């Protein structure tokens, strides 16, 4: 006769403990940023850390552009062998992700200034532009997918928060942030490329002088703005509207100030469009 439990019931089989599920493996780089990578078999190198590696890479990128960053150059900057770096960073692509996250340091404590969604979102775009101007190599970063580093996502969260109470859907909010970010990075890249072109022209002039060739006065190297180039290139008969645009106002002698104003003009027009979308959403709600 089989054994039975209380009230004549057969005993229930013992339950085996449920296996602990492991979080899915994140792509390389993100697993480091989000603390999902296990410790490797190779121990840490004394005097070296992942923060030191990333800081050295950022110093190189700030001074030489993204093309100046390689595992070998970073190792040289730190005074270690290239192989030592691979204890902390698996590849240059992974290093770029770490640099991107570090460039947005401070996002976790950032407070958006302003008393309404528009002023806060305008400030959000300005912060992103200022960050790109401090680290212009950001505009050279490959962008196959939206940044998913912790600091980047915190910054996106702030942008979404600025749009709280507008009545917009979450999909519309993230599209607006993407539009602002794309515009900001594009404007920053054009400004950076223009500065580099001037610097390269001056370097070429200086090198020609060292070689004994006639040298132009560096102060007379043209600072080409869009309007100046139009005046140089278009004639009134072939391009009547562009010609009128080029000669309708004096060319500002301070192109940097012009560039900033043009950037903010674009930001304000995107925000105008956002306000129109909010009005339409509310009226149809």
What per-residue confidence (pLDDT) applies to 195?
79
What per-residue confidence (pLDDT) applies to 284?
82
* 226 part of a folded domain: no
In this structure, the answer to whether residues 125 and 96 fall within a common structural domain is no
Distant-in-sequence, close-in-space partners of 206: CB < 8 Å, separation ≥ 6: 215, 218
* 91: three-class secondary structure by DSSP: coil
In this structure, the answer to whether residues 135 and 74 fall within a common structural domain is no
What per-residue confidence (pLDDT) applies to 207?
73
Whether residue 240 has pLDDT greater than 80: yes
Whether residue 5 has pLDDT greater than 70: no
* 131 part of a folded domain: yes
In this structure, the answer to whether residues 124 and 187 fall within a common structural domain is yes
Please give the helix or strand (H or E) that residue 271 lies within, else none: helix 255-284
Q: How far apart are CA 31 and CA 47, in angstroms?
A: 23
> What CATH number does residue 64 fall under?
1.10.10.60
In this structure, the answer to whether residues 120 and 204 fall within a common structural domain is yes
* 22 part of a folded domain: no
Residues 145-171 have pLDDT tens digits of 667 888 889 999 999 999 999 999 999
Whether residue 256 has pLDDT greater than 50: no
Whether residue 249 has pLDDT greater than 80: no
In the predicted model, what is the mean pLDDT of the chain?
Answer: 82
Q: Which residue has the higher pLDDT, 150 or 255?
A: 150
Q: What percent of the chain has pLDDT over 90?
A: 45
In this structure, the answer to whether residues 90 and 197 fall within a common structural domain is no
In this structure, the answer to whether residues 87 and 139 fall within a common structural domain is no
Last residue of a domain, one of 83, 103, 123: 103
Last residue of a domain, one of 103, 134, 153: 103
- CA angle 264/261/180 to nearest 5° reads 20
> What CATH number does residue 125 fall under?
1.10.357.10
Instruction: Indicate the pLDDT class of residue 257, thresholds 50, 70 and 90.
Output: low
In this structure, the answer to whether residues 72 and 213 fall within a common structural domain is no
What per-residue confidence (pLDDT) applies to 2?
45
Of 31-40, 107-116, 207-216, the one with minimum mean pLDDT is 207-216
Please give the helix or strand (H or E) that residue 247 lies within, else none: helix 240-247
Q: Domain of 131? A: 107-221+252-284
* 78 part of a folded domain: yes
Of 6-15, 153-162, 243-252, the one with minimum mean pLDDT is 6-15
In this structure, the answer to whether residues 145 and 257 fall within a common structural domain is yes
Last residue of a domain, one of 57, 86, 103: 103
203 CA to centre of own chain:
28
In this structure, the answer to whether residues 74 and 98 fall within a common structural domain is yes
What per-residue confidence (pLDDT) applies to 226?
73
In this structure, the answer to whether residues 165 and 277 fall within a common structural domain is yes
Average pLDDT over every residue of 94-123: 90
What per-residue confidence (pLDDT) applies to 36?
75
Q: Which residue has the higher pLDDT, 40 or 181?
A: 181
Whether residue 1 has pLDDT greater than 50: no
Of 3-12, 53-62, 172-181, the one with minimum mean pLDDT is 3-12
- CA angle 163/165/170 to nearest 5° reads 55
Average pLDDT over every residue of 1-8: 47
Q: How many domains does the chain have?
A: 2
In this structure, the answer to whether residues 148 and 263 fall within a common structural domain is yes
Average pLDDT over every residue of 29-47: 67
In this structure, the answer to whether residues 263 and 172 fall within a common structural domain is yes
């Amino acid at each position: 006769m089989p054994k039975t439990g209380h009230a004549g019931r057969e005993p229930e089989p013992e339950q085996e403990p449920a296996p602990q599920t492991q979080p899915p493996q994140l792509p390389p780089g993100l697993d480091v940023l989000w603390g999902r990578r296990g410790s490797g078999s190779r121990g840490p190198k004394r005097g070296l850390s992942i923060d030191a590696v990333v800081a050295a890479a950022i110093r190189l990128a700030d001074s030489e552009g993204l093309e100046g960053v390689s595992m070998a150059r970073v190792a040289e900057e730190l005074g270690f062998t290239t192989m030592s770096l691979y204890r902390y960073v698996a590849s240059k692509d992974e290093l770029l992700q770490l640099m991107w996250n570090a460039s947005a340091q401070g996002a976790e404590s950032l407070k958006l200034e302003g008393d309404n969604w528009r002023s806060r979102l305008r400030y959000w775009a300005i912060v992103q532009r200022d960050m790109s101007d401090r680290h212009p190599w950001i505009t050279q970063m490959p962008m196959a997918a939206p940044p998913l580093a912790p600091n980047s996502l915190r910054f996106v969260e702030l942008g979404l928060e600025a749009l709280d109470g507008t009545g917009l859907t979450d999909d519309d909010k993230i599209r607006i942030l993407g539009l602002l970010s794309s515009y900001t990075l594009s404007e920053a890249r054009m400004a950076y490329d223009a500065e580099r072109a001037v610097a390269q022209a001056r370097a070429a002039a200086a090198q020609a002088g060292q070689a004994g060739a006639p040298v132009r006065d560096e102060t007379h190297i043209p600072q080409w703005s869009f309007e100046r180039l139009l005046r140089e290139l278009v004639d009134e008969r072939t391009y009547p509207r562009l010609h009128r645009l080029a000669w309708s106002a004096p060319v500002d002698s301070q192109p940097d100030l012009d560039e900033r104003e043009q950037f903010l003009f674009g930001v304000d027009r995107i925000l105008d469009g956002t306000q129109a979308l909010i009005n339409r959403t509310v009226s149809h709600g």
